[in-house]
């Protein structure tokens, strides 16, 4: 796997952080993740400085969309603001030559059943992709809390099928903490094989773009999104099994942690022969 860090803007500082940590892949945000709107996007001069700094040898990178996104919301204002935010990030990510924008699709709350929520999310994702520029992918991320959509691989695959977009437009980013917390046990020496088989069975393996390779602070099935340092949570050596599996060779492994904590996680993964 390829080591990756989460690094917040300014964008111009990202190449220096990556160089200092000897990492070539990253995730960032392009707006305040707790707000909608375009008031907090990196200004043109920051975007230009980033592009100048990486010219000729750009790192691999993705964007994490706003945490407020709810494309399934029964409230049209929230639904449309979510779509606008995701579309804005897709356009900026394309300008910055990044690989995609990951997002949580939304919630079933407020709908009579999950079927209705999934149908609403599928319609809105389709509309966003119809307006998004070529050369950039929206990346559905699995979830684990409350009534969030896509807590398991089957529902994620269902949403992907309902949207019907090709892999170059709609991909999948797998968060190991979320999946474990939602009830898919990722601990143990066979975790990599079980995960690869499950992804293949659901038609998601070919859409897998990256991992959020987070450990989990709570036990399997806790339904709590609490990221842990690799090797220090309830998944523990299961992350090594995943990282060593041939199906995931070369896939970026983003540690969604503060850089100081991520260093411990990267050191653990490197000692276990996960990072190439």
pLDDT of residue 190: 97
To the question of pTM greater than 0.95 for the whole model, the response is yes
Tokens of 35: 């707000």
- Cα–chain-centroid distance for residue 31? 16
CA torsion angle for 170, 275, 180, 145 (degrees, to 10)? -50
Distance CA 178, CA 117 (A): 20
Minimal CA–CA distance to 160: which of 177, 182, 141?
Answer: 141
pLDDT(96) > 90? yes
Burial class (CB in 10 A: 0-12, 13-18, 19+), 17: middle
Predicted confidence band of residue 32 (pLDDT cuts 50, 70, 90): confident
Predicted confidence band of residue 40 (pLDDT cuts 50, 70, 90): confident
Predicted confidence band of residue 269 (pLDDT cuts 50, 70, 90): very high
Predicted confidence band of residue 101 (pLDDT cuts 50, 70, 90): very high
Distance CA 246, CA 153 (A): 20
**For 235-258, how does the pLDDT look when each residue is reduced to its tens digit (9 = 90+)?**
999 999 999 999 999 999 999 999
Tokens of 263: 């260093």
pLDDT of residue 141: 98
Query: Who contacts 159 (Cβ-Cβ below 8 Å, separation ≥6)?
Result: 105, 118, 121, 122, 125, 140, 149, 150
């Amino acid at each position: 796997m390829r080591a990756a860090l989460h690094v917040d803007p300014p964008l111009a500082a990202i190449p220096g952080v990556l160089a200092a940590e000897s990492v070539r892949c990253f995730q960032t945000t392009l707006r305040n993740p707790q707000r909608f709107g375009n008031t907090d996007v990196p200004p043109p001069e920051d975007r230009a400085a980033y592009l100048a700094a990486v010219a000729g040898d750009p790192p691999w990178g993705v964007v994490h969309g706003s945490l407020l996104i709810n494309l399934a919301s029964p409230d049209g204002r929230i639904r449309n603001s979510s779509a606008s935010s995701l579309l804005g990030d897709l356009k900026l990510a394309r300008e910055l030559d990044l690989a995609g924008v990951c997002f949580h699709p939304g919630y079933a709350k407020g709908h009579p059943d999950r079927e209705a929520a999934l149908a609403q999310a599928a319609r809105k994702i389709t509309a966003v992709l119809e307006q998004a520029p070529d050369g950039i992918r929206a990346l559905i991320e699995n979830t684990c809390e409350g009534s969030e959509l896509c807590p398991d691989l089957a529902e994620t695959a269902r949403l992907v099928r309902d949207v019907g977009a090709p892999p170059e437009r709609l991909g999948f980013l797998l968060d190991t903490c979320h999946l474990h917390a939602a009830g898919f046990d990722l601990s143990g020496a066979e975790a990599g094989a079980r995960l690869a088989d499950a992804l293949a069975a659901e038609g998601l393996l070919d859409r897998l773009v990256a991992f959020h390779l987070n450990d989990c602070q709570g036990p399997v099935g806790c339904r709590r999104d609490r990221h842990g340092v690799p090797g220090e949570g309830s998944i523990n050596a299961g992350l090594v099994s995943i990282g060593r599996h041939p199906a995931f060779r070369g896939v970026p492994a983003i540690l969604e942690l503060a850089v100081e904590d991520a260093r411990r996680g990267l050191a653990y993964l490197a000692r276990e022969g996960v990072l190439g």
